Structures are given as structure tokens and as C-alpha cells.
């Protein structure tokens, strides 16, 4: 990242590092994305890059953003370069902007003071709204008038909670009260934008997640998105016990397992996935988390559930049911039973291809599940042969 920063200094000496990367550098946190602001229009940025033999991608020209691809010793680094802007028109979701060369004017349109910081190539930080003091105090505060910032883009209410969870030592009460007043504006946002912010919050490692979610519930900001079954209180399972349980292997079998598990604990009716328009895979996982496990908390009795729902969903459900940690750890290493009989096995025993064969394999699999997935595949073949020999599947072909 340092090499890319130095390279950009050669073609855009007027530029300054901007926003989150400045904030995280000051906190000593890893910086994953390099963002630079410049008092130059996008076409000048692209011309400078071309002269410096760097490729560009017109990522968002309407908003003044160009991605410059910088070649370094460690590979190609994409750097987002954005022209200083001022808002001309806002509708609560999107803004029409105009270019400016005024750094303070650009900072004034940003969401929070800790995101309105700039640093030049000499390391000099420009702070127009007290972001450095807020960063030291662990305070997430809106730039200028909170009500105006939210009315410009209602998603900033969601971002307030996510950034407070990540960077705040306490919740800014002025911001919280304004959000309580303007919470109905959240209904104007798209499900996709709300879901992205909520899932990023739930994915975080923050220890104060339960407190932040309690504030979100109290303001009503999620009422439009969690339906009639919206939580009236945040379940205790979202506290330290859940965070500890999330360290148990197994949930990683689903790419978003821990995040969706927190969502399931927060909105336990199982409808949040559809309301937030999550992927079909995520919705199916959330639905699988709703199905109770057998009362006996042992690996033996959950083998059919493992075969039907997969390891991540079963481990997740056990976490929601607050299984003891030792039982969760044993469950996490339990092999997932697999039914491997195919149509060839049925054909080998004289079953006709078509509905008869499909129903026979389905019946065999159900017999295997009913016996806690204990029978071997050889035993399943023997059962299939016995049932086929007795003509118990012939009715399927006559029904077709």
C-alpha cells in the first residue's frame, strides 16, 4: 500500500489520502483500501495516470471517481481517486454533485467527523470538523447538523450504528435522538442497502454488538425491515455466550455462517432473509436454522439433521439452543453422513428407470434417516434389493 501511495504522489501531488484509510492509519489498524481525494476533475486524473503509464477504470464518473491501477512489487493495487465534491441535490438515497476545489466543502458532505480526515504526502492531517478529537475519544459524531446528514442519505442511520460498534466507546446521544426522530426514513431505502449494512455490522467482532442492537431496536430503525415479528428486545444469546460459541469450528462450512447465525438470533422468526432480499442460499440457511434439534444434546441423535441440513446449519441451531460448549465442540467434528446410492443400484435390482426408481431411492434414503444414518450403504443396497424383490415399488410405475 505504501508503494502505491508513493507512486500516486508522482502523478497527483495535489492529492490527499481521504476518509477511512486516514482514520485506520491513525488508529494503527490495517488499511485495505487506498482512497485519494483531489481538487481536479476526473478527466485530468485519467490524463495524469495515462502520462504515468497507469491504467484507469471509470468507476463512477458521475460522482467523480476513477480507479487507478498502480503496479507495485507486490502486484497491482487499485486506488480510488475522487474529485472534491459538493452536494447539489439530495433525495435521501442518492446525491447529485458538482466539483469543487474547496477541501472543507468536500469534508462537509461526509457522514462522520472521523471519516472527514485527509492526509497529504508529508503526513500532515487536515481536520475540519473535530474528527481527530472524536477519534481519540472513541466518539462517532455526524459532521455538522445530524438531521441534515441523515436527510441527505437515510442509510447514514445504519452506518452510525455500524461505525459506533467498530470505533465508538459510547453512543453519541445527539445522533441517537435524531435517528429516533427520523427512523421512518429507513423505509425509503432499498432492501439491498439495508442488508449490506446490517450484515456488515453483524459480521464484526465488536464486543458491544448486543448494546448497539438494543439501541437499533429502541429507535425503531429496523421496524420496516424485520416485519411484524421485529424484535422487541435483543436476546441474551447475542451476548458473550454467542461470541464464544462462534469460535467453534463448523459454522465455516457456510461462507456467511456466523453472520447469518447472529441475524437468526436477532430476528428469530426466519423471515428476515426474504424481507432483506438475501440470496436464496442465505434464505435457505436461515430457514434451516429455525428447525429444532432433538432434545437429547448428543451427536448420535442429530445425524439425520446433519444429513438433511448440513454441518453449518446444525451447529448453528445448536448454538441458538445454547448447547454446552463441550457438546458444540463434539458436534463440530462429527462427520456428515452421506447417502451415496444412485440409480445404478436400483437398476441392478430390476427397478425400471423413471418414477419407480426415483421413489425407491427416496424410500431407501428415508429408511436410512429413520435409523439415524447408521446403516452402511451395503445395508441400504440389501434393503433396496429386499423391497424390490417383494414388489413393494411396483405400485409407483402403475401410478405414473
pLDDT band at 398 (very low <50, low <70, confident <90, very high): very low
> pLDDT, tens digit, for every residue of 14-63?
999 999 999 999 999 999 899 999 999 999 999 999 999 999 999 988 88
pLDDT on residue 236: 56
Contacts within 8 Å (CB) and 24+ apart, 81-84: 81/8, 81/12, 81/15, 81/35, 81/36, 81/37, 81/38, 81/45, 82/18, 82/35, 82/36, 82/37, 82/38, 83/37, 83/38, 83/39, 83/40, 83/41, 83/42, 83/45, 84/37, 84/38, 84/39
What's the whole-number mean pLDDT along residues 171-195?
A: 95
> pLDDT, tens digit, for every residue of 261-294?
888 888 877 788 999 999 999 999 999 988 999 8
Residues 34 and 23: their CA atoms lie apart, in Å, by 12
Q: What domains can you pick out in the chain, each with its CATH number?
A: 1-143 (3.30.460.10), 145-225 (1.10.110), 240-333 (no CATH), 343-390 (no CATH)
> pLDDT, tens digit, for every residue of 129-176?
999 999 999 999 999 999 999 999 999 999 999 999 999 998 999 999
Average pLDDT, the chain: 87
pLDDT on residue 251: 64
pLDDT band at 244 (very low <50, low <70, confident <90, very high): low
> pLDDT, tens digit, for every residue of 191-243?
999 999 999 998 876 678 888 988 998 999 988 887 555 555 555 555 555 66
What's the whole-number mean pLDDT along residues 317-337?
A: 86
Amino acid at each position: 500500500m505504501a508503494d502505491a501511495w508513493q507512486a500516486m504522489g508522482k502523478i497527483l501531488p495535489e492529492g490527499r489520502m481521504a476518509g477511512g484509510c486516514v482514520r485506520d492509519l491513525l488508529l494503527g489498524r490495517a488499511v485495505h483500501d487506498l482512497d485519494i481525494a483531489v481538487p481536479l476533475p476526473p478527466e485530468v486524473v485519467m490524463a495524469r495516470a495515462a502520462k504515468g503509464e497507469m491504467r484507469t477504470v471509470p468507476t463512477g464518473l458521475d460522482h467523480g471517481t476513477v480507479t487507478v491501477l498502480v503496479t507495485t512489487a507486490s502486484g497491482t493495487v487499485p486506488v480510488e481517486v475522487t474529485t472534491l465534491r459538493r452536494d447539489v441535490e439530495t433525495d435521501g438515497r442518492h446525491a447529485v454533485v458538482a466539483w469543487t476545489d474547496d477541501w472543507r466543502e468536500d469534508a462537509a458532505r461526509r457522514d462522520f467527523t472521523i471519516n472527514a480526515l485527509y492526509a497529504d504526502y508529508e503526513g500532515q492531517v487536515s481536520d475540519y470538523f473535530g474528527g481527530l478529537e472524536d477519534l481519540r475519544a472513541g466518539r462517532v459524531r455526524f459532521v455538522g447538523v445530524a438531521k441534515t446528514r441523515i436527510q441527505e442519505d437515510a442509510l447514514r442511520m445504519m452506518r452510525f450504528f455500524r461505525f459506533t460498534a467498530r470505533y465508538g466507546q459510547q453512543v453519541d446521544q445527539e445522533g441517537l435522538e435524531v435517528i429516533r426522530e427520523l427512523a421512518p426514513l429507513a423505509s425509503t431505502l432499498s432492501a439491498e442497502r439495508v442488508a449490506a449494512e446490517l450484515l456488515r455490522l453483524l459480521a464484526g467482532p465488536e464486543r458491544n454488538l448486543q448494546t448497539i442492537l438494543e439501541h437499533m431496536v429502541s429507535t425503531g430503525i429496523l421496524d420496516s425491515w424485520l416485519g411484524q415479528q421485529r424484535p422487541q428486545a435483543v436476546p441474551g444469546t447475542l451476548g458473550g455466550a454467542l461470541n464464544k460459541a462462534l469460535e467453534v469450528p463448523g459454522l465455516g462450512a457456510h461462507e456467511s455462517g456466523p453472520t447469518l447465525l447472529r441475524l437468526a438470533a436477532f430476528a428469530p422468526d426466519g423471515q428476515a432473509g426474504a424481507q432483506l432480499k438475501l440470496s436464496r442460499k442465505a434464505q435457505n440457511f436461515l430457514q434451516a436454522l429455525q428447525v429444532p434439534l432433538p432434545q437429547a444434546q448428543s451427536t448420535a441423535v442429530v445425524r439425520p439433521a446433519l444429513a438433511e441440513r448440513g454441518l453449518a446449519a446444525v451447529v448453528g441451531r445448536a448454538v441458538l439452543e445454547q448447547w454446552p460448549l463441550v457438546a458444540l465442540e463434539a458436534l463440530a467434528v462429527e462427520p456428515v453422513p452421506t447417502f451415496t446410492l444412485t440409480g445404478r443400484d436400483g437398476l441392478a435390482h430390476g427397478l425400471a428407470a423413471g418414477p419407480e426408481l426415483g421413489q425407491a431411492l427416496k424410500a431407501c434414503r428415508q429408511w436410512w434417516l429413520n435409523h439415524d444414518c447408521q446403516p452402511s450403504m451395503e445395508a441400504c443396497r440389501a434393503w433396496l434389493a429386499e423391497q424390490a424383490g417383494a414388489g413393494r415399488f411396483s405400485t409407483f410405475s402403475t401410478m405414473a
